[in-house]
């Protein structure tokens, strides 16, 4: 015979299994949210170690790619390996593409290449190449 538990559910046994299952699901959701928050805090903290601001990049894959390129160039890799090119108007500035929409900019100086900015291709065209922007 089924009995009515204090929660209002009906069933057999010593306690309401339905409520126990709901509590376990709620506990799992809380743990997942805590993990997501910790991951987000760690991700935000990782930007402090970057030589230039990469927060404007739209997704984590581009940030990882930018960090890989920055580390490789800082380690002595040639910028042409990443399809980097010198600007025609200012030969001391080197542009390295991050996909189709973003660029890493470096200044060629006495100590080698120094990262100066990360920007969208639209901003790059408008601010660095006179006559090309709107």
Please report, for the domain that includes residue 75, its CATH number: 3.30.2310.20
Same domain, 78 and 100: yes
- CB burial class (10 A; 0-12, 13-18, 19+) of residue 1? exposed
Over residues 93-109, the mean pLDDT reads 89
Quick: pLDDT tens for 16-61. 888 888 888 989 999 999 999 999 898 888 888 889 888 888 888 9
- Of 112, 107, 104, 81, the C-alpha closest to 92 is 107
Same domain, 81 and 118: yes
Same domain, 56 and 104: yes
Report the number of distinct structural domains present in the chain: 2
- CB burial class (10 A; 0-12, 13-18, 19+) of residue 71? exposed
Give the CA angle between residues 85, 86, 92 to the nearest 5°. Answer: 145
Phi, psi of 90 (to 5 degrees): -135, 95
Q: What is the pLDDT of residue 127?
A: 66
Alpha helices in 1-134 (DSSP H): 17-46, 60-74, 121-128
The pair of three-digit structure tokens given for residue 118, joined into one six-digit string: 């990360």
Domain that holds residue 19: 3-44
Same domain, 122 and 68: yes
Cβ neighbour number for residue 54 with a 10 Å cutoff:
20
Quick: pLDDT tens for 56-81. 888 889 999 999 999 999 888 899 99
Give yes or no for residue 10 having a pLDDT over 60.
yes
């Amino acid at each position: 015979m089924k009995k009515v538990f204090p929660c209002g559910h009906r069933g057999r046994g010593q306690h309401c299994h339905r409520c126990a299952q709901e509590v376990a699901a709620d506990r799992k959701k809380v743990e997942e949210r805590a993990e997501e928050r910790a991951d987000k805090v760690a991700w935000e903290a990782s930007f402090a170690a970057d030589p230039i601001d990469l927060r404007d990049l739209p997704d984590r894959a581009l940030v990882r790619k930018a960090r890989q390129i920055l580390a490789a160039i800082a380690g002595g890799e040639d910028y042409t390996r990443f399809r980097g090119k010198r600007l025609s108007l200012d030969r001391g500035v080197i542009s390295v593409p991050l996909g189709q929409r973003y660029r890493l900019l470096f200044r060629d100086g006495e100590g080698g290449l120094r990262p100066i900015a990360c920007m969208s291709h639209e901003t790059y065209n408008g601010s660095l190449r006179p006559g090309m922007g709107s």
